[in-house]
A and B are shown apart, each in its own frame.
Chain A
Amino acid sequence: MATVEFSSLVKKYGPLEVVHSIDLAIRDGEFVVLVGPSGCGKSTCLRMLAGLEEISGGKILIDGQIVNEIEPRDRNIAMVFQDYALYPHMSVYENMAFSLQYRGFNKKEIKTRVAAAATTLGLTDLLDRRPKQLSGGQRQRVAMGRAIVRDPQVFLFDEPLSNLDAKLRGSMRIEIKKLHRRLGVTTVYVTHDQVEAMTLADRVVVMNNGRIEQVGTPEQVYHHPETLFVASFIGSPTMNLVPAEHDGTLLRLNDGSVLIRQPENKAAQPGAKMFGVRPEDVTVAEGPPPEGHSEVEVVVDVIEALGADTLVFATVAGSPFAARVPPATRLQPGASARLRFPNDKTHLFDADTGKALA
């Protein structure tokens, strides 16, 4: 186990800078998920940590030691790849034992380690098979087994579940979580899937355009997004974001006709803002609004009944606006409705900088 630290980490491809001076400290035994859209630099950071990409600037430290110039094989890390990267010409046993053979382990020790990892991952009956004879989930477990036998300081996962179907992804998520709890190894996990990020991480690192937007627990990034990007990236459906204008005391939507009351401390400076509220904090209004709540008049565009709840999609001042309501709620597309939300669940962002306003 070890700590991992990125210090002013930069990656350039020729003149193009794709990772811009990132700072991040990962604690010993922590499960950190780097999440963001394609091309945000999360995999590049992981590959620099693994030693598979050269570092253009800054430092990477593993357990306090700078590893910039250390070969991948000497960093004592193990990586699970998106496509599993199992050697197709070797059996499951050979795949798992392969790295140990090159690290001076004797046959008995190799056998013991492989057997232990196989038992942990339920692979004991598959050790003689070739990768092509395995299902996607089994291959994924072999890839994890290959990492486990090494007993590394740090585990790296590069979108390991993206090739699996939705059901298998769910069960493998639980397997990975259990495994981390059992082994307690520092883990860096890259994904573009926010569900994986939220369910697996001790801390989530949300990245965009080669920069870190926010680092925090899943609860922090969900309930207290620090930027517009985090607010719009985390959550499904994503946070409702509507342009608004603060005149010093009241928050008006851009069409000027609708008024949303905001606590004054959220928008001390008058000017252009982005107003946000999570769909699950929005209800269909009945009766007069209670204290500390606001409402907007909408015309319902689409209704999506998901079984456990129903999504209502409407438009507010030209922006899409969604509400997650109980399935018993009776609404039809085209109908008028008042949607209500508590003021203390709303978010306000500076329209220019995208930063959240306290």
Chain B
Amino acid sequence: MSRRTRILSHITLILVSVIMLTPIYWVVKTSISGENLFTYPPSIVPHDPNLFYYVQAWYTVDFVRLFTNSLAIAVLVVVVNLVLNAMAGYALTKHFPGKGMVLGFLLASMMIPFHATIIPAYLLTAKLGLLNSKLGIALPFFSHIVCIFLFKSNFEAIPSSLVQAARLDGLSELRILTRIMLPLSRPAVATNIILSFIWSWNDFLWPLIVVRSPDQETMPLGLVSFLASFEDTTGALYAFCVLVVLPSMLVFLLAQKDFIRGLTTGATKG
């Protein structure tokens, strides 16, 4: 790449980054200054920044309850996703009759939007007696086909001789998965954690349908309740938004290195 091309691409990347980061900056700025969009004259730098609106948001709603509900559901989703997706991904690395059909079925089911399955999902959850419970909120997120394929491609990149050596060493298939495949698939594990956490943490529609009492509300539901109840609280609303988004960002930042590798593994496998 020539110097000129490199400079041009850097300028483009910087511009795109600025465009992407501006809304986030605006939310953070508003959350510490309370200045709404129509403040005149508009300012880039926040005037008199403070944490008052965070304190206000914290005490206005039962933040701890919302947070612990969301966290409990997200942790449950992440753990079950890791177990189910890894096992399914490992099974799909094997040869068995009808494997092509199973793969086709999985890929085809990815094309069905979640919204189209909400009614049957609701009926199933109701039949299981899990409406208005954390398990009921978490249930539809227990496995993601994207993550199954991610595990599959990661496992396939591991030399088959390692699996054979483990088999000769006396390991069962489950042990091979837990002792050999998963430790060698950190990018896939990280990607699975990030995606399942974010999907669970950010989901609004499904909890809205199955939750009936405030004690089971999650953060996105709390945000809507907050918005409906307190219209004239720009600073606190934005502070609440930051608090909702923060855990997802933290999880992403903690695992982003392996996450990026996870997304590119399948692409570079020969």
Interface residues in chain A, defined as those with a beta carbon under 8 Å from any beta carbon in chain B: 50-52, 72-73, 77-79, 81-83, 85, 87-89, 98-99, 102-103, 146
Contacts and interface: CB of A to CB of B under 8 A. Distances in A.
A85 B159 contact: yes
Given A72-B167, A77-B168, 13 more contacts: A50-B168, A51-B168, A52-B164, A52-B167, A52-B168, A72-B168, A79-B165, A81-B165, A85-B164, A87-B165, A89-B183, A102-B171, A146-B165
Contacts of A73: 167-171
A99 B179 CA distance: 12
B181 to A, nearest CB: 11
A73 B169 CA distance: 6
A85 B162 contact: yes
B75 interface: no
Contact of A83 (B159, B167, B168): B159
Contacts of B167: 51-52, 72-73
Nearest to B180: A87
Nearest to A78: B168
Query: 3 tightest CB-CB pairs across the interface, nearest first?
Result: A99-B169, A85-B161, A85-B165
A82 B175 CA distance: 23
Nearest to B162: A85
Interface string B152-193: 000000010110111111110001000010011000000000
Contact of B175 (A51, A77, A102, A146): A102
B170 to A, nearest CB: 4
A87 B176 CA distance: 11
Nearest to A73: B170
Interface string B71-100: 000000000000000000000000000000
Contacts of A81: 161, 164-165
A77 B162 CA distance: 16
Contacts of B171: 73, 102
Interface in B203-222: none
Contact of A102 (B159, B161, B169): B169
A72 B172 CA distance: 11
A171 B161 CA distance: 24
Contacts of B164: 50, 52, 72, 79, 81, 85
A73 B167 CA distance: 6
A75 to B, nearest CB: 8
B165 A102 contact: no
Contact of B162 (A50, A51, A87, A103): A87
B176 to A, nearest CB: 11
A88 B181 CA distance: 11
Most A CB contacts (10 A, CB to CB) among B159, B161, B175, B180 go to B161
Contacts of A77: 168
A203 B180 CA distance: 37
Contacts of B180: 87
A88 B165 contact: no
Interface in B48-70: none
Which of A77, A87, A103 has the most chain B CB atoms closer than 10 A to its own CB? Answer: A87
A102 B170 contact: yes
Contact of B184 (A51, A79, A88, A102): A88
Contacts of A52: 164, 167-168
23 contacts: A50-B164, A52-B164, A72-B167, A72-B168, A73-B167, A73-B169, A73-B170, A73-B171, A77-B168, A79-B164, A81-B165, A85-B159, A85-B164, A87-B165, A89-B183, A99-B168, A99-B169, A102-B169, A102-B170, A102-B171, A102-B175, A103-B170, A146-B165
A254 B72 CA distance: 87
A52 B159 CA distance: 14
Contacts of A102: 169-171, 175
A51 B169 CA distance: 12
Nearest to A47: B164
Contacts of A103: 170
A85 B166 CA distance: 9
A99 B170 contact: yes
A105 to B, nearest CB: 11
B206 to A, nearest CB: 37
Nearest to B167: A72
A340 to B, nearest CB: 50
Contacts of B162: 85, 87
Nearest to A158: B161
A180 to B, nearest CB: 19
Contacts of B183: 89
Nearest to B182: A89
Nearest to A74: B170
A108 B164 CA distance: 27
A152 B217 CA distance: 60
B169 A82 contact: no
B187 to A, nearest CB: 13
A311 B256 CA distance: 61
A355 B161 CA distance: 38
A144 to B, nearest CB: 13
Contacts of A146: 165
B161 A82 contact: yes
B158 to A, nearest CB: 9
B99 to A, nearest CB: 15
Interface in B23-43: none
A47 B11 CA distance: 56
A115 B169 CA distance: 19
Contacts of A50: 164, 168
B88 to A, nearest CB: 22
Nearest to B175: A102
Nearest to B186: A89
B62 to A, nearest CB: 44
Contacts of B175: 102
